[in-house]
Structure 1
């Protein structure tokens, strides 16, 4: 199981490299900073990400909050308590995301960012290719499940707030 998590950590570094590059490229348009938590929600993640967060929490215990109106349990005083270990979806928020929807390319970006930016200025070179990375994550998760023999299908997603559930924690150890 450690091997698969290592692959996930390497993948996460690739995501971070691209998001750092895009953050630098779009710096003047990004309003994202500590205290902005509009995108901090109780997302559902693949078991590989859930397990990686769970493993990280063994070494870094945090006070998990109650999920209020779908907010993230790791949000405390408008800041992420597990920022270093946050899932991929959280690492890409705020950036312009390019993805396929109903056979056409669509662009998504935070409503607080890119307010004076023309959509025509977005290109594959200055956007995050969400589908490409989601596909890689899906395949890593599939490998992880096969090796770990956890009782999840490759299509299962687990809400982050389930990390508070002791019974589920025990099943994943």
Structure 2
């Protein structure tokens, strides 16, 4: 199980490195900044991410300050337009605002890009080199999670299970 957590952290580091490269490359188009939280939603994450984040917060003895009221559908860790678990945020949160390339339901490559960022951009200019390879990262994450759930004794999960991140906030509040 510890090896799965280490693998997750390596994936997360890879995401951060690639995101940093893409942020620098697309800097003139990115308008993401403190206070822009339209992407901060009540996501569900894999058990591997959930327990890695939970354990990291516990290890740092960090109990994030949560808002007393939250907009429906927004992330419970969003307070005053800032992420209270920023250093430990899930992989999906680390890619927000960037152009994401993924395989669509009809087996065609699709591109997702924040319309607030890329509003004066020719989408034909996106390539494999200047977009985030969402499927490749998700595959790595899924495989690490698959190993994690097989070795995890605290609770039984299926490899396809997702845990709403708001559950983490509830768990932290009760500790």
Question: TM class by shorter-chain length?
Answer: over 0.9
Root-mean-square deviation (CA), in Å? 1.6
Using the size of structure 2 for normalisation, the TM-score is 0.91
2:118 corresponds to which of 95, 114, 121: 114
1:66-122 CA distance string (max 9 Å, x none)? 542111111011011111100010001100000111110110011101111001000
Kept in 1, the 8 Å contact 2:99–2:111? The answer is: yes
1:76 corresponds to which of 68, 79, 92: 79
Which residue does 2:138 correspond to in 1?
134
Does structure 1 residue 156 correspond to structure 2 residue 161?
Answer: yes
Which residue does 1:93 correspond to in 2?
96
Q: CA deviation at 1:52?
A: 1.1
Using the size of structure 1 for normalisation, the TM-score is 0.92
Does structure 1 residue 54 correspond to structure 2 residue 24?
Answer: no
Kept in 1, the 8 Å contact 2:77–2:169? The answer is: no
Question: Which segments of structure 1 move beyond 6 Å, counting only runs of 4 or more?
Answer: none
Q: CA deviation at 1:143?
A: 0.6
More helix by share: 1
Partners of 1:49 and 1:86 in 2: how far apart?
9
SS in 1 for 2:56: helix
Kept in 2, the 8 Å contact 1:67–1:161? The answer is: no
Partners of 1:146 and 1:63 in 2: how far apart?
33
Q: CA deviation at 1:42?
A: 0.7
Does structure 1 residue 64 correspond to structure 2 residue 66?
Answer: yes
Q: CA deviation at 1:164?
A: 2.9
Unaligned runs of 5+ in 2: none
SS in 2 for 1:99: strand
Does structure 1 residue 45 correspond to structure 2 residue 48?
Answer: no
Q: CA deviation at 1:10?
A: 1.1
- Aligned residues, how many? 169
Pair 74,166 (structure 1): closer, same or farther in 2 beyond 3 Å: closer
Unaligned runs of 5+ in 1: none
